[in-house]
Structure 1
Amino acid sequence: MKKLLLLPLFALFLAFSSGASAQAVDTSNPDVLIKTVTQQVLDQIKADKQIQSGNITRITELVNQKILPYTDFTRTTRLVMGRNWNTATPQQQKEIVEQFKILLIRTYSGALAQVRDQEVQYKPFRASPEDTDVVVRSVVINNGQPIQLDYRLYKTPQGWKVYDINVLGAWLIQAYQQQFSEQISQHGVDGLLQFLTQRNQQLASGKAS
């Protein structure tokens, strides 16, 4: 699996709402949502020694418990698969979403341990009241180096939700589209599911390169 986005803070997408229980988050404003949750995440990581040590059980627990309120990972997976999504059965779709989520958690769990004193600067948010798909742009200052970190959100009846993230010009969905397409083209939807499952097993055993 290509590691195009192995950067500290990318893991914010996965552990996006790890501190959400600390206080209510306004999901009616995408700009406020990102700022509030990001700060809570940073505070939570800095206070959690298990996350800092890369404890995969703790990280997975946080993601599974807190990711749903502020993200739509099914939408993310559907867009990665493109037209191939509709060729998968509902059960296959469900399993691919879960295996893809596990893959990202395991691939980027190490980035969480690197979060320490990064500063997040937000660019002016520009959107019209009628917009239903927006981008919140920010820059993370990591050891003096600026890292572009943008979030794409769309409006739902339950409020705004994140479904894509951009690190240094590389969007998550775009980064995985070709890999998924190639697997399905060569081995079918079952082949993609098998690939993801095997990759997760390799990462779990520490055998993945």
Structure 2
Amino acid sequence: MKLMKHAITALFALLLSMPAWAADSGPKAAIESTVTEIIHVLDVRADKTRLTPADREVISKTVEGKFGYAAMAKRSLGKPWNDLKKDEQVHFTAVFREHLERSYGDQLSKYKGQTVTFADAEMKGDKARVMSKVIDGSRETPVEYSLYQTATGWQVYDIRIEGSSMVRTFYQDFQSTLDKGGYPELLKTLEEKIAKHKEKD
């Protein structure tokens, strides 16, 4: 769907520019620095059309701590989050993360040298917004990153591309399933999607 494609494009842009973030890094610096490990993985692949399980593992470890997965999962799920026990919240966050990583991984495998430019961060307390553009030939796509500061550094909690919120996109996708079968049905659906992705590996 269009909104999901936008969200994946934003994540693709972020991965092409993400650093090994430090606690004292500013939000712009945190996003702007190139992740040489990820680019290296993409450049040295024998098969430039896909990511192998090993490629995915390297990328997953590289982005560890850069996304506020729990915050993103909570916002994407909405009210049902508060009805979950702590261990259920942890489990849903893990499933949400894998679903997210496998979705953007499929798009990341299509890397062909796109570039990203950034504007200065707009600060408001412990939160920040960084505007950027993804440049692919003659096409420029605006991408906005929302971050919050933690004890270990800046983490992304939402991304907007051409005005479409990634978290809002997931929320809308999830609500249709929640309306039909509640949380158990949503969890089952996400796990089935993950399983199908794994079959492709």
- What letter is aligned with 1:113? S
Measure how far apart 1:46 and its partner are: 4.6
Computed over aligned residues only, the root mean square deviation of the Cα atoms, in angstroms, reads: 2.7
Find the counterpart in structure 2 of residue 10 from structure 1: 11
Measure how far apart 1:42 and its partner are: 6.3
User: Deviation per CA, 1:1-30, whole angstroms, max 9, x where unpaired?
Assistant: x4524355633546875x63xxx7465311
Whole-angstrom distance in 2 between the partners of 1:119 and 1:113: 15
Residues 119, 15 of structure 1: alpha-carbon distance in 2 compared, 3 angstrom cutoff: closer
Aligned match for 2:67, one of 48, 64, 71: 71
**Structure 1: stretches of 5+ with no match in the other structure:** none
Whole-angstrom distance in 2 between the partners of 1:61 and 1:144: 33
Residues 65, 95 of structure 1: alpha-carbon distance in 2 compared, 3 angstrom cutoff: same
Aligned match for 2:27, one of 18, 30, 33: 30
Find the counterpart in structure 2 of residue 94 from structure 1: 90
- What letter is aligned with 2:3? L
Q: TM-score when scaled to structure 1?
A: 0.80
The question of whether the paired residues in 1 share the 8 Å contact of 2:141 and 2:161 is answered with yes
Whole-angstrom distance in 1 between the partners of 2:45 and 2:73: 31
Measure how far apart 1:32 and its partner are: 0.9
Tell which has more relative contact order, 1 or 2 (C-alpha 8 A, sep 6+). Answer: 2
Aligned match for 2:160, one of 163, 166, 172: 166
1:121 matched to 2:122? The reply is: no
- What letter is aligned with 1:69? G
- What letter is aligned with 2:137? N
Find the counterpart in structure 2 of residue 182 from structure 1: 176
Measure how far apart 1:198 and its partner are: 1.2
Partner SS for 1:127: strand
Find the counterpart in structure 2 of residue 80 from structure 1: 76
Q: TM-score when scaled to structure 2?
A: 0.83
Measure how far apart 1:203 and its partner are: 3.0
Q: Percent identity?
A: 21
Whole-angstrom distance in 1 between the partners of 2:56 and 2:39: 18
Whole-angstrom distance in 1 between the partners of 2:175 and 2:157: 19
Aligned length: 198
